[in-house]
Amino acid sequence: MRMMPTCREITERASAHLDGELGRMAGLGFRLHLAVCRHCRRYVAQLAEAVALVRGQPVGEPPAAELEALLVRRFRDHSLASLRASPGPEG
Amino acid sequence: MDSGDLCAHLRAGDEQAFRDLVRGHHAAMIRFAHGFVRTRASAEDVVQETWLVVVEGLHRFEARSSLLTWIYGILANKARTRGAREARAAPLPEPSLERADARIPEADRFDASGHWREPPGPWTSLDPERIVAGRQLWRHVLDILDTLPAMHRAVLTLHDVEGLEAAAICDILGLSEGNRRVLLHRARARVRLALEQLVATDGPWPPARPAAPPGTWRAERAASSPCARR
């Protein structure tokens, strides 16, 4: 097996690297390549930043008030029904 | 509240825990569903239907599979069924984006020997609050997510937004582990590329800071995430 991957191979494996999914040998080749290639260092750093932005997005719009009220009503009904059905160890 | 707590609160009928669950995932679920169906209204419909099923099953929920895996499994089924029905009713004339965009987005930036012909451009700060082209960067990121083909968007949402495990994602979407990896990487690579293009065309840095930060940030919530990780 060739020790040093190409730049193209680095970009293809960059996600697996970030997720800790590269095997030992592949991981070694990956790190060796990064040590000598600033373009790929930049690529991997930018991919990590992109992932961080996706992970850090705000939770977004809540449901419309009517929908939330409907769901909470249903939740309450089912909670009461299921508590009655299974009264627990003491009940 | 850790994940075990949340499930216990829900089983005990804690309404605030239920509200938190709905508010915390509703928007991400609509984005996920919209990949499979034609309109935002359709996506809202299938998410509403999903919550109505979830609310009836929460109390029977067993901890062996995570709550979010169960919820997204229901949503994926409903969204794909609805999407297939819409496609039968009114087929689109152009070929699906899914196939057209299947290759790695930077594929044409390498020479024959696999070296960069057009290396990645430089980035300055990617503060989510940074204003680019008149809007906060995190808003652009949401727009980028909305341009991803359905399965790319689905895998990225489940993995990087909702924090689900690889095996759960494969179950929900009916994917092999190999396909999950490829889709996740292509989705992330497309986000990186879109950011590169966005930042490269932007004006001087630093711009004026916006006044108010947005409310809850997902990263902060993730630490106390409801049943997201087993």
**Closest CB to A71 among B51, B110, B114:** B51
**Closest CB to A59 among B106, B196, B216:** B216
Task: Give me the pLDDT at residue B28, please.
Answer: 95
Task: Give me the pLDDT at residue B157, please.
Answer: 96
- The answer, for A35 touching chain B at a CB cutoff of 8 Å, is no
Task: Give me the pLDDT at residue B129, please.
Answer: 82
Mean pLDDT of B3-18: 84
In the numeric block, which tokens belong to residue A42? 């930049």
Higher-confidence residue of A78 and B207: namely A78
Task: Give me the pLDDT at residue B222, please.
Answer: 42
State the complex-level ipTM.
0.87
- The answer, for A63 touching chain B at a CB cutoff of 8 Å, is yes
Helix or strand run (H / E) with residue A78: helix A65-85
Give the β-pairing of B135-136 and B131-132: antiparallel
Contacts of B13 in chain A (CB under 8 A): 75-76, 79-80, 83
Among the ranges B55-64, B113-122, B199-208, which has the highest mean pLDDT value? B113-122
Instruction: Say if residue B65's pLDDT is above 60.
Output: no
Per-residue pLDDT band for B228 (boundaries 50, 70, 90) equals: very low
User: How far is A81 from chain B, CA to nearest CA, in Å?
Assistant: 10
Compute the distance between CA of residue A23 and CA of residue A28 in angstroms, rounded to an integer: 8
**Closest CB to A57 among B114, B126, B138:** B138
Q: Kindly report the average pLDDT of chain B as a whole number.
A: 82
**Closest CB to B215 among A11, A58, A67:** A58
- CB atoms under 10 Å from CB of A64, counted, come to 12
Residue contacts between A and B (CB atoms, under 8 Å):
155
Contacts of B25 in chain A (CB under 8 A): 59
Residues 6+ positions from B108 with CB-CB distance below 8 Å? none
Instruction: Say if residue B78's pLDDT is above 90.
Output: yes
Contacts of A59 in chain B (CB under 8 A): 23-25, 27-28, 215-218, 221
Task: Give me the pLDDT at residue B2, please.
Answer: 54
Per-residue pLDDT band for B201 (boundaries 50, 70, 90) equals: low
User: What percent of chain B shows pLDDT beyond 90?
Assistant: 56
Per-residue pLDDT band for B127 (boundaries 50, 70, 90) equals: confident
pLDDT digits (tens, 9 = 90+) for B19-64: 999 999 999 999 999 999 999 999 999 999 999 999 988 877 665 4
pLDDT digits (tens, 9 = 90+) for A7-23: 999 999 999 999 999 99
Residues 6+ positions from B122 with CB-CB distance below 8 Å? A42
- The answer, for A74 touching chain B at a CB cutoff of 8 Å, is yes
B135 phi/psi in degrees, rounded to 5: -140, 160
Compute the distance between CA of residue B58 and CA of residue B226 in angstroms, rounded to an integer: 13
Task: Give me the pLDDT at residue B215, please.
Answer: 45
pLDDT per residue as tens, chain A (91 positions): 567 899 999 999 999 999 999 999 999 999 999 999 999 999 999 999 999 999 988 888 899 999 999 999 999 998 888 777 765 554 3
Q: Do B185 and A56 touch (CB under 8 A)?
A: no
- The answer, for A56 touching chain B at a CB cutoff of 8 Å, is yes
pLDDT digits (tens, 9 = 90+) for B139-157: 999 999 999 999 999 999 9
Q: Which of B26, B28, B32 is nearest to B148 (CA)?
A: B32
Whether B132 contacts B202, CB under 8 Å: yes
Per-residue pLDDT band for B89 (boundaries 50, 70, 90) equals: confident
pTM of the model: 0.83
Task: Give me the pLDDT at residue B34, please.
Answer: 95
